[in-house]
């Protein structure tokens, strides 16, 4: 199965999903079949005054993931992920990375067709 990038607060399957996509602490790049994962730090995006979402989208794209699971995605990040052909599952905050992946595998995550946040977390 294709790899999944989940925004996370810590490099662990039991980390809470970071609700923010662009300014997430990092991403867990997970193989949903084996649950093997690697961690990509996204700390540099947190320090950016603008373009954090776009940079995070680049990071996810480079990781080879084809699906993003997260809380909120802003308009520019959405556009960038969409251009890269990466599918987006939103509103997955308030659960762990493992729970988000289980939900995705069970077919319970609707893939987004539009961003669910205005820019700058508004």
Residues at the contact surface with another protein, assessed by CB under 8 A: 48, 50-51, 54-55, 57-58, 61, 76, 79-80, 83-86
**Could you tell me what percentage of the chain is helix, strand and coil, using 3-state DSSP and rounding each to the nearest 5?**
30, 20, 50
Beta strand 26-30 with 4-8 is: antiparallel
Closest contact distance (angstroms) between CB of 54 and another protein is 4
User: Which is closer to another protein, CB of 35 or CB of 118?
Assistant: 118
CB of 57 to another protein, least distance (A): 6
Q: How far apart are CA 109 and CA 69, in angstroms?
A: 9
Cβ(90)–Cβ(53) below 8 Å: no
Minimum CB distance to another protein smaller for 36 or for 64: 64
* Shortest spacing between CB 22 and another protein, in angstroms: 10
DSSP characters for 44-81? HHHT-SS-HHHHHHHHHHHHT-SEEE-SB--HHHHHHH
Shortest distance (Å) from residue 16 CB to another protein? 27
Comparing CB distances to another protein, the nearer of 35 and 83 is 83
Residue 72 vs 78, nearer CB to another protein: 78
């Amino acid at each position: 199965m294709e790899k999944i990038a989940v925004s996370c607060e810590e490099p662990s399957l039991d980390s809470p999903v970071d609700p923010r996509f662009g300014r997430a602490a990092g991403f867990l790049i997970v193989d949903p079949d084996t649950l093997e994962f690697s961690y990509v730090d996204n700390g540099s995006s947190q320090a950016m005054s603008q373009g954090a979402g776009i940079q995070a989208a680049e990071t996810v794209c480079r990781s080879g993931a084809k699906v993003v699971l997260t809380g909120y995605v802003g308009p520019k990040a959405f556009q960038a992920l969409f251009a890269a052909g990466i599918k987006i599952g939103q509103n997955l905050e308030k659960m762990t990375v493992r729970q988000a992946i289980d939900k995705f595998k069970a077919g319970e995550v609707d893939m987004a067709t539009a961003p669910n946040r205005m820019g700058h977390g508004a």
